[in-house]
Amino acid sequence: MSEYQTLNFADVSVGDSLPEQDIDITSGLVVSGALATRDYEPVHHDKSVAQAAGLPDVFMNILTSQALMTRFATDWSGPEAVVKSLDIKLGAPNVPGMVMKVTGQVTAKDGDSGVIDIAVTGENNIWGMHMAGTVQLALPQGA
């Protein structure tokens, strides 16, 4: 019926790890991410403004980090999963030239609501923790 599979609630166990993703932080991703989220703050597209703020280059905006965290969860779960919440603690900036490794693990399951909690961390290879938090997904209960 479909090339896209979605995990059922019963398929998932607390402790399951999600496939890691390595995201290359490029100027293209930082600037395009800012524009795709309509975030025109100059620190996200103008290097001289970012440098005046004490950073070496333009840096990723929060809305892009949120997007990458959601994508990480739903790439794994499949498209019928419903994102219920996204809770991010922000850390070190993502600057062009870095690679962010995103990892995650299922930390809780709620049988009544079909909602699972996924603890997600995005660490870049230079400054460390860029984002850490929780994505909650509602998964189909299955047939």
Partner 1 sequence: MTPEEIKAFEDQVYAYVGKRVCTATPAKDAVNDTMIRHWTEVMGDTNPAYTNPEWAAQSARGKTIAPPAMMYVWNQEGYAVASTGRPSDAQSDLVQLFNDNGYTGVLGTNVKQEYFAEASPGDQIVMEMVIDTISERKATARGTGYFYETLATFSNQDGVKLGTQRFRVLKFIPQEQPAAAKSDSALEVPTRIASPRGHDNKWWWEACDEGRVMIQRCTSCQTLRHPPRPMCGECQSTEWDAIESTLDGEVLSFTCLRHPAIPGYPKDPICAVIKLDEGTHLVANVVGCEYDDVSIGMRLKGKVEQVDEKTMLPQFYPA
SS3 content of the chain, % helix, strand, coil (to 5): 25, 35, 40
Residue type, 37: T
Nearest to 133 by CA among 103, 94, 102, 88: 88
Angle, helices 27-36 vs 62-77, to 10°: value is 90
Residue 82: CB minimum distance to partner 1, A = 7
Between 12 and 80, CB nearer to partner 1 = 80
In the complex, minimum distance from the CB of residue 109 to partner 1, in angstroms, rounded to a whole number: 19
Nearest approach, Cβ of 32 to partner 1 (angstroms)?
4
Q: Which is nearer to partner 1, 11 or 46 (CB)?
A: 46
**Would you tell me which residues interact with partner 1 (CB under 8 A)?**
1-2, 4, 29, 32-33, 35-42, 45-46, 51-57, 62-64, 66-71, 74-75, 79-80, 82-90, 95, 97-98, 123, 125-126, 128, 140
CB closer to partner 1, 10 vs 125 = 125
Nearer CB in complex with partner 1: 11/57 = 57
CA torsion sign, 62 to 80 to 107 to 24? negative
Work out how close the CB of 62 gets to partner 1 at its nearest, in angstroms, rounded to a whole number. Answer: 6
CB of 47 to partner 1, least distance (A): 9
Q: With the C-alpha atoms ordered 12, 15, 19, 20, is the resulting torsion angle positive or negative?
A: positive
Q: Give the helix/strand (H/E) hosting 13.
A: none
Q: Which residues pair with 95 in a beta bridge?
A: none
Task: Decide whether 16 or 46 has the Cβ nearer to partner 1.
Answer: 46
